[in-house]
Amino acid sequence: MNISSAIVNARPGGVAIVQAGLATLPGVEVHGISPEGKLIVTIETEDDASNVATYERIGQLDGVLSAAMVFHQTESEPENEVSVEADLQVTPQLQGDLK
């Protein structure tokens, strides 16, 4: 899963149109709007290709001047994670070093 945030800049007077367009995109959520026409959004997608496609679609929306990624994180699926367990013992020498 990809999670990212972006600042989307709308044309003057075009914030409502941009906000409506963003609402049609899956995984996109608007969290704030400034009086200057900047929208703070988060984007959740399944993979990198979907993330890129979503940014391209945002850039093509009516009223959008630009979209700039601010943050990006890729999270692995829990069922694909590997857990490693170790039984560690502190040796007498290491105990002395820790004091």
Would you call 40 helix, strand, or coil by DSSP?
strand
For 2-72, give the CATH class. alpha beta
* CA–CA distances in Å: residue 12 to residues 18, 61, 73: 11, 14, 31
pLDDT score, position 76:
75
Q: Report mean pLDDT in 10-residue bins for the chain, 99 residues.
A: 96 96 98 96 95 97 97 77 59 61
Question: What does pTM read for this prediction?
Answer: 0.74
CA angle 45–49–54, rounded 5-degree value: 55
* Residue 40, beta-bridge partner list: 7, 32
**How many other C-beta atoms can be found within 10 angstroms of the C-beta atom of residue 37?**
17
pLDDT digits (tens, 9 = 90+) for 10-35: 999 999 999 999 999 999 999 999 99
